[in-house]
Structure 1
Amino acid sequence: MPREVRERQMLDAAVAAFARHGYQAASMDDIAEAAGVSKPLVYLYLKSKEDLFMACVRREIRALVAAVRQGTRERGAADQQLWNGLTAFFAHTAARPHGIAVLHRARTQGEPFVQEVTAMRVEITALVTGLLAQAARDTGCDGALAEREVSGLAHALVGAAESLAEWANARAAADGDAAPSAKETAATLMNFCWAGLENLTKGARWVPGPGR
């Protein structure tokens, strides 16, 4: 069997194990058995449990970023590009729930795993910021507002997307029939974001009431 195929089998088994049990509790014996190989072969290919986990994290990051970028590749209005990107994001996270769970677990495993996930979020947030800023400019919003408030909105949007993906996958695991589709989840977030952006561009901002 070609090395790349064997490695993919190992990573598939490892992603599932890390997603279910976490980094510490996942067993290299179980991973090897699920991949249909010996434990020494896992160590020969991927050196250590830490290296195996890092390989899983990096593979899932590459796949997620590629899906989002592919979704926003088609040229058009900024809101349509954002919609396409969100739909691609939620379709990907629904198709690879174990991968998303691994990325979530990586945030709590310390360096260098946190660095990898942080770099991914920076890349995706920059992409979203650009789309929101362009949408704000298209509606006549001044550059200062676009730079100041759209950046915060983009960070909030990325965090909300991650949270919604976990929620949708939990619904799917509990009751597949009750799980929202990728487009339904994307529409929920799009409505939340776009309504806020529209109000910002029109100068309609929420302000606290008297005495607050």
Structure 2
Amino acid sequence: MAAAGSRRVPRAERERQMLDAAVATFARRGYRAASMDGIAEAAGVSKPLVYLYLNSKDELFSACIRREAAALTAAVRDAVQDGATPEVQLRSGLLGFFEHTAAHPDGWTILYSQARTVGEPFAAEVAALRAEIVDFVAALIAAACGSQEVAGYAHALVGAAESLAGWAASSPSADRSPKDLAATLMTLAWSGLATAVPPAPAS
């Protein structure tokens, strides 16, 4: 029987605590150096409980990738303003991306650095995330310019955003806000995209 005044932690909350601890540990120590003992200690649970919930280190790392990928995708989608001009939609999507990566540096490290370098199947999971974001950006551009030949634009824009976020994360002395990063990329990208996207009609 539980001690008086103790509270049974719901499974979903316990898993969230474990994933929070795992994301921080993997991001800061790297996949290979991270240990299940260290993750359990950081989460405030026993190692057997981590294995009970998430089976293995590989499955725990995959769960971290899936959670952080879903959160990043949602942040980009939610930031885009419905009914706005193509320029505003792209700018708001980029701002959502940079705000999320700045607010969740450990999650971004998992996706941008760790998962890509550890190997399969983790790299494939991140590639699936990237393809989803590229498709979303391509749909925005295609809807604006009435053409489906926009894959190159979308890949270039997503790749540039990833590179810029990686630079900002690894160069804290740069002191660039998410708004600054979004503005920098729009300055670079929009002059080219504007040739494919017609200007918004005058109101």
TM class by smaller structure: 0.7 to 0.9
Structural RMSD (CA): 1.7
More helix by share: 1
Give the whole-Å Cα distance in 2 for the aligned partners of 1:76 and 1:5.
37
One-letter code of the match for 2:141? L
Percent identical residues:
59
Gapped regions of structure 2 (runs ≥ 5): 1-8, 199-203
Give the whole-Å Cα distance in 1 for the aligned partners of 2:50 and 2:81.
37
The answer to whether 1:102 aligns with 2:102 is no
Partner of 2:4: none
**Match 2:66 to one of 58, 66, 74:** 58
The answer to whether 1:37 aligns with 2:33 is no
Contact kept, 8 Å, 2:141 with 2:197, in 1: the verdict is no
The answer to whether 1:127 aligns with 2:119 is no
Structure 1 residues 133-148: aligned runs within 5 Å: 133-137=142-146, 143=147, 147=149
Partner of 1:189: 185
65-74 vs 47-56, which moves further: 65-74
Question: Are residues 75 and 200 of structure 1, via their aligned partners in 2, closer, same or farther at CA, if it must alter by over 3 Å?
Answer: closer
- The two structures have a TM-score, normalised by structure 1, of 0.84
One-letter code of the match for 1:49? K
Partner of 2:57: 49
Partner of 2:22: 14
Superposed displacement of residue 201, structure 1: 6.4
Give the whole-Å Cα distance in 1 for the aligned partners of 2:104 and 2:156.
23
Question: Are residues 116 and 73 of structure 1, via their aligned partners in 2, closer, same or farther at CA, if it must alter by over 3 Å?
Answer: farther
- The two structures have a TM-score, normalised by structure 2, of 0.87
Partner of 1:164: 164
Please give the per-residue CA displacement for 1:20-66, whole angstroms capped at 9, x wherever unaligned: 12111111111111111111111111100001000000000110001
- State the SS of the aligned residue for 1:74: coil
One-letter code of the match for 2:40? A
